């Protein structure tokens, strides 16, 4: 008996956006590279917000869409997390909320550690897709 690949839909097309090179690039790799570049070059709080807010929103949208589309476990956690970090970036970057002189460092650290933690730990606990026998 052959194991079913849960990332493939009934049409034979991949349902998990992370399996496609174009969607993987657009939803995760490109926004991540932009965010890292802006963080490294210290472009100032407003420019960082102008880049980070939409990039985090794209990450969030990709994860939430993937959670709905294929029930990828970590996407149920990372989607809302990236959306929340997008709001925090917006509020801090445009001065609505002050997180202090090291605010962007905190946002960067929390986004990095939270994103990595939420991308790996839930799938260790529950498998890659909800509703699939392990």
pLDDT in tens, 45-66: 999 999 999 999 999 999 999 9
Name the one residue in this structure whose structure tokens are 């490109």: 30
Report how far residue 48's alpha carbon sits from residue 93's, in angstroms, rounded to the nearest whole number: 7
Q: Of 120, 113, 111, 94, nearest to 56 (Cα)?
A: 111
pLDDT at 1: 41
- The pLDDT-based confidence of 132 (bands split at 50, 70, 90) is confident
- The pLDDT-based confidence of 8 (bands split at 50, 70, 90) is low
pLDDT at 13: 46
10 pLDDT higher than 70: no
């Amino acid at each position: 008996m052959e194991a079913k690949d849960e990332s493939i839909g009934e049409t034979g097309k991949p349902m998990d956006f992370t399996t496609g090179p174009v969607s993987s690039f657009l939803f995760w790799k490109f926004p991540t590279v932009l965010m890292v570049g802006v963080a490294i070059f210290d472009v100032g709080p407003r420019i960082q917000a102008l880049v980070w807010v939409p990039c985090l929103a794209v990450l969030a949208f990709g994860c939430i869409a993937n959670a709905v589309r294929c029930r990828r476990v970590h996407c149920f956690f990372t989607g809302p997390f990236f959306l929340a970090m997008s709001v925090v970036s917006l509020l801090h970057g445009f001065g609505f909320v002050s997180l202090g002189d090291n605010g962007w460092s905190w946002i960067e650290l929390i986004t990095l550690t939270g994103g990595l933690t939420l991308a790996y730990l839930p799938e260790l606990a529950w498998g890659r897709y909800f509703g699939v026998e392990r």
